[in-house]
Amino acid sequence: MQTALSIALDAFAYGMALFIICIGLSLTMGLMRLVNLAHGAFAMIGGYIASYAARDLGLGYGYGFGIALAVAGTVLIAVPLERLLFRRIYDRSALSQVLMTIGITFCVIGITNYVFGPTLKTIPLPADLARPIDLGFRSIAGHRLFVIASGLAVAGGLWFLIERTGFGIKLRAAVENAPMSRALGVRTELIYAASFALAVALAAFGGAVGAEFLPIEPYYALRYMVTFLVVVSVGGAGSIPGALAACLLLGAIDVTGRYLMPDFGNFFFYLAVILVVCAFPRGLMGRAP
Amino acid sequence: MAQASAPMAAATPARDLGRDLAGLALILAAGLAGYWLFPDNLSFLTRLISVALLVLSLDLIVGYCGIASLGQAALYGAGAYAAGIACLNGVTEPFLLILIGAAAGAVTGLLMGTVMLRAHGLPQLVLSIAIVQLLHEAANKAAWLTGGSDGLAGMVPAPLFGLFEFDLWGRAAYLFGLGLLVAVFVALKLLVRSPFGMVCRGLKEDPLRVSALGISAFPVLLRMFVISGAVAGMGGALGAISTQVVGLDSVSFELSANALVMLVLGGLGNLYGALIGTVVFMAVEHVVAAIDPFHWMTLVGALLIAIVLFAPRGLSGTLDEAARILARRPRRAGP
Amino acid sequence: MNPAAASPVFAVAHLSKSFGGLKVNHDVSIAMAPGERLALIGPNGAGKTTFVNLVTGRIRPSAGTVRLGDEDITRLGAVARVRRGLVRTFQVTRLFPDMTPEEHVVMAILQRQGRATRILARFHGAGAAADEAADILATLGLTEVARRKVVEIAYGQQRLLEIAIAMAQRPKVLLLDEPAAGVPSTDTPLIERALERLPASLAVLMIEHDMDLVFRFARRVTVLAAGELIFQGLPADVARDDRVREAYLGSYAHAGR
């Protein structure tokens, strides 16, 4: 019973970390119709900046500052990339998008390794988050609780932004019919750039707070590329509840598999993916094409 | 290729035959040139042929049917492991090993096609990845059969035709591989020109039109998966015979992704493109990756970005384009 | 009243389709005899596209049946219907851009003969099929462009190619979905001539906006409005029908009288 509970809590926290990273990708793929395999590369850049800020700058500003810097820095790197590269493939075929974003990923990995070296980077946790916190029935590492809370906040905030604000309406309009939206005075390029920046910011945030689960190293961008893509596709691109369900389901399967049958590796994870995609070819809560 | 400038003369059988024979002669000449020019690198060149078969098989799926796959190494690895296991268990005749690889690849292709054809678009791509990853984990776990993370080693195939040993210099292996490549290439040229091949092209261009002709897509595509599996399986078996090891890397996402990069580099839907892409990619990798594997990654990444932006039809498509522009100016009569 | 009632080659009966609460097609019944030339017309939003999708098997009806000859094909998929002889053309051309007209027609002929997906055969130079394709293309005046890529030929010729493919399929029932749509008016006579040459025994259902074409081609007209059939009869009578006038002209229908 105790094991089951700790597996469940671990799986929940891991699923939420996945969610924070993947939801940005789900939005770019579902709403902007862009298959961005470089999403993990942005999460990795966020992790590197957070680690660099928290460890090497040594300013003592701590964890929160590191994360804020990670988000801002990654967006700053992503904006010129959007203008130069991504903007040219919004209306190209999925294969072109896959190829270019794999290319960007490879470049980021090569450059990161050149600058930071191949070693693992950690992001030191502040004392408050490193301590276990007593929940009454169980104690849980403070950091995991923080990840869970962040995940819930991201889910709620995004839902509000897309369903309840003017920006959300313009975004959905731009996706449905770009020429019509432009005729109505919606600046679609700006909307696309802003949602791209939002997706990147979420990736960087997730990369930094999720580093306990997905350790930061140069191959990060490629190692987890498949995981992120799989999660989004299982959930159904563009659906926030779908992404949440997929992250929790696949996180649970992954963590349970590792606990109970560690030498099977990711076997059950991928088996589950095949079964789910075959049963729900459009994702758990996918929008009709 | 020349249809645009000389539409009425396109696709006459005699012209096709002439071009095919010239292409085959070119492949053979390049293969034999490699044999004489790089006698110390024959094992690398044999590996190149083995991967070329993988990329050709991927071209059948991606280039001719329009189905994106990042899991083609599942079929290649199935062939490699089947041939490796057979060889360790006393089946050492090289031609038989190639056939075993082809059969294993075909069966895996049947399964992979059955699963992948249930979905479309992105979920389909994800299924291809999940399948290769699943097989990778299975091969890792089933150590009693596959040697796990150590892989299989110590295969000793019987001499070719009972005469030529698969020795350290790899001359027999290379010429064997070159012969296999040419045979497969001829077969695939006939395949893509068959009614079946034309229907596959049709499915890539407009599946709705194909169904309005009364043709069901699923059995056609599934057959292409089986054929593609057989070709990839032969590539895997050739790799197993020539290197005499089979590792987990033969059934990996990385190899699948590299195969797709090579195909796109060379040009989709064009069997020559698959060969050109493989040769260029692996030759440059051989040189640059020896210096620093991360520089190689950066280079491949930049190359991919450049292809998407500037040469979406790949090297062979770009060559076609160049040839067309050159041919237009002097306005020469066709052969 | 209905000449096809005796032994129809094609009949839909009480066909209905609702999306949510919206009745897009309601209780539509049509029967066609061999050799019939029937036009289905109706204002925009009348449910013509849904009707085509129901008949061709792209969507399932909420109620009603579709029969081809003696067989109930309501439950069959789109491909199976084509194989039984119910062939369509597309409102917006659906062709293979990189293939030639000859290749399109040969593929249709090979499929009719059950040879379209053979592996151990040659597509080009397939003797009899190539000759037949040449004949069909000649009938439609497409010989000149037979070996050009479809992307390189004029739109009117692409429309003719749609008809050529359908002829190669030798259907029992042919559904022409706006065969003149998008064709410059100078080229409509070409389409008309092609339609005149369709085999006499073939039942043709044409969905069309161009009333001149309808009047010249059809011997019977049926009008769909707001998902329901409101008129079936002779072309000469259609313009005099009150319900048709109302459907097209709204409340102004009676003002002009």
> What is the DSSP code (8-state) at residue A214?
S
CA distance B257 to chain C (A): 28
Q: Which of A26, A223, A274 to probe by mutation at the B interface, max B CB count within 10 Å? A: A274
Give tens-digit pLDDT for B280-312: 999 988 888 788 778 888 888 998 899 888 877
B311-330 residues touching C, CB cutoff 8 A: none
Q: Identify which of B62, B134, B261 has the shortest CB distance to residue A274.
A: B134
From chain B, the residues in CB contact with C107 under 8 A are 195, 198-199, 202, 213
Q: Identify which of A94, A265, A273 has the shortest CB distance to residue B140.
A: A265
Q: Identify which of B123, B297, B312 has the shortest CB distance to residue A281.
A: B123
**Interchain CB contact of B303 with A (< 8 Å):** yes
Which two three-digit tokens encode residue B235? 């590539």
Distance of CA C211 to the CA centre of its chain: 16
As a whole number of angstroms, the distance between CA B185 and CA A250 comes to 42
Q: Who wins on pLDDT, B215 or B331?
A: B215
Amino acid (one-letter) located at A286: G
As a whole number of angstroms, the distance between CA C205 and CA C219 comes to 11
Give tens-digit pLDDT for C95-113: 999 899 999 999 999 999 9
Q: Report ipTM for this prediction.
A: 0.88
Per DSSP bridges, beta strands C37-41 and C220-225 are parallel
Per DSSP bridges, beta strands C10-19 and C63-68 are antiparallel
C129-168 residues touching B, CB cutoff 8 A: 147-149, 152, 165
Which two three-digit tokens encode residue C116? 């379209």
pTM for the full predicted model:
0.89
As a whole number of angstroms, the distance between CA C67 and CA C73 comes to 5
User: What are the angstrom distances between the C-alpha of C207 and each of C183, C226, C230?
Assistant: 15, 16, 15
Give helix then strand counts, H and E, for chain C: 9, 10
Q: What ranges do the domains of chain C cover?
A: 10-97+172-254
**Interchain CB contact of A274 with B (< 8 Å):** yes
Domain that holds residue A43: 17-221
Residue of C nearest to B211 (CA): C79
As a whole number of angstroms, the distance between CA B41 and CA A126 comes to 55
> What is the DSSP code (8-state) at residue C250?
G
Give tens-digit pLDDT for A95-106: 888 889 999 999
CATH fold of the domain at C10-97+172-254: Rossmann fold (3.40.50)
Amino acid (one-letter) located at C184: P
**Interchain CB contact of B118 with A (< 8 Å):** yes
Q: Which of C52, C81, C107 to probe by mutation at the B interface, max B CB count within 10 Å? A: C107
| Cβ atoms of residues B298 and A107 within 8 Å | yes
From chain C, the residues in CB contact with B214 under 8 A are 79, 82-83, 87, 111-112, 169
Instruction: Give the count of beta carbons closer than 10 Å to the beta carbon of residue A88.
Output: 14
As a whole number of angstroms, the distance between CA B273 and CA B52 comes to 10
Residue of C nearest to B219 (CA): C117
Q: Confidence band (pLDDT; 50, 70, 90) for B80?
A: very high
Total domains present in chain A: 1
Q: What ranges do the domains of chain B cover?
A: 15-253
Which two three-digit tokens encode residue A104? 């960007």
Is residue C22 over pLDDT 80? Answer: yes
As a whole number of angstroms, the distance between CA B172 and CA B42 comes to 10
* Structural domain contains residue A23: yes
As a whole number of angstroms, the distance between CA A61 and CA A58 comes to 8
Residue of C nearest to B196 (CA): C117
Residue of A nearest to B313 (CA): A96
CB burial readout A32-46, b (16+ within 10 A) else e: bebbbbbbbbbbbbb
User: What are the angstrom distances between the C-alpha of C38 and each of B133, C15, C32?
Assistant: 57, 18, 8
Residue of A nearest to B264 (CA): A99
- Kindly tell me whether chain C and chain B come into contact, counting contact as 3+ Cβ pairs under 8 Å: yes
Contact: A270, B133; criterion CB under 8 Å: yes
Q: What is the pLDDT of residue A154?
A: 93
Per DSSP bridges, beta strands C71-72 and C63-68 are antiparallel
> What is the DSSP code (8-state) at residue B67?
-
Q: Which class for C46: exposed (0-12), middle (13-18), buried (19 or more C-beta within 10 A)?
A: buried
DSSP3 helix / strand / coil % (chain A, rounded to 5): 75, 5, 25
Residue of C nearest to B195 (CA): C123
**Interchain CB contact of B203 with A (< 8 Å):** no
User: What are the angstrom distances between the C-alpha of B258 and each of A99, B264, B302?
Assistant: 11, 10, 14
Give tens-digit pLDDT for B228-254: 999 999 999 999 998 888 999 999 998
Contact: C79, B215; criterion CB under 8 Å: yes
* Structural domain contains residue A51: yes
**Interchain CB contact of A84 with B (< 8 Å):** no
Residue A102: enclosing H or E segment and its boundaries? helix A94-116
Is residue B2 over pLDDT 50? Answer: no
Contact: B196, C117; criterion CB under 8 Å: yes
CA distance C128 to chain B (A): 14
What are the pLDDT tens digits along chain A (289 aa)? Answer: 677 777 888 889 999 999 999 999 998 888 788 889 999 999 999 999 998 888 776 655 677 888 899 999 999 999 999 889 998 888 888 888 888 999 999 999 999 988 888 888 888 887 777 777 777 667 778 888 889 999 999 999 998 888 888 888 888 787 777 778 787 878 888 888 888 999 999 999 999 999 888 889 888 888 888 889 888 888 887 788 888 999 999 888 888 888 887 777 788 888 988 998 888 887 776 654 4
* Closest to B296 in 3D by CA, of B315, B283, B311, B278: B283
Cα pseudo-dihedral C241, C246, C249, C254, rounded to 10: 80
